[in-house]
Amino acid sequence: MAKLDVTLEDFQKVLTPQSIRVLQVIFAALATGVFIFALIAVSGFFIFQKDYQAADPSVIRILTIIHFIIFPVIFYISKYLYDHLFQSNRFSQLPEVTSANFQNSPISLAENLLAMIRSSSIVRLALLEVPAMFGLTICFMGSLQGVLQQYPVYWINMISAVVFEMIIYIEFPSRQKLEALFREKWPQQTIYKSL
């Protein structure tokens, strides 16, 4: 059995500007979607005058409670799945390495690791987008019904969208951040293949 190690140098070879840009586009697209919907939700607030007769806030109250139940649950699930995708050692699914292609195997493993980073990031952000959009929908409904004008406390539903945007800002892909992620996650992986 031969142990195949992917070094930081192997990972840096596959970490091309184009591969980084793909991740950046994904992050930017998700952030932009949530940001634009936040603008729509906020604009609804200005549609009505301050003396607008607000609807009964009970529906917004119930939706707010549901929002603050699902937000931490989905936050935890997204973090768990993200970590689990790295711990599951999907590299063991790769075809057997022969002596003919043994020289190139660390590079192909590094490419698979980069693909794993990409797919796990998409899964995590897609899950986190759910409570963000739900919270913004509550704000939009509250704005249109005049509830937010009378009860501004319900703007608290924007917190999941703010957290989502902060996560994207903090984790926005760069060469340095991806190399740091490699150093953090790769030691958990051990791959053995027959020669």
Report pLDDT for 194: 37
Report pLDDT for 31: 96
Report pLDDT for 193: 39
> Rg (Cα) of the chain, in Å, rounded?
22
The yes-or-no verdict on residue 87 having pLDDT over 80 is: no
Average pLDDT, the chain: 81
Q: Residues of the chain with pLDDT > 90: what percent?
A: 43
CA angle 27, 33, 36 (to 5 degrees): 130
In the 8-state DSSP scheme, what is residue 15?
Answer: -
User: Quick one: 135 exposed, middle or buried, by C-beta within 10 A (0-12, 13-18, 19+)?
Assistant: buried
Q: What is the pTM of this model?
A: 0.81
- The C-alpha atoms of residue 75 and residue 164 are separated, in whole angstroms, by 10
CB neighbours (10 Å) of residue 59? 14
The residue ranges of every structural domain in the chain are: 10-90+105-174
Report pLDDT for 143: 87
Tens digit of each residue's pLDDT (9 = 90 or more) over 3-52 = 456 677 878 888 889 999 999 999 999 999 999 999 999 988 887 655 56
- The C-alpha atoms of residue 121 and residue 78 are separated, in whole angstroms, by 10
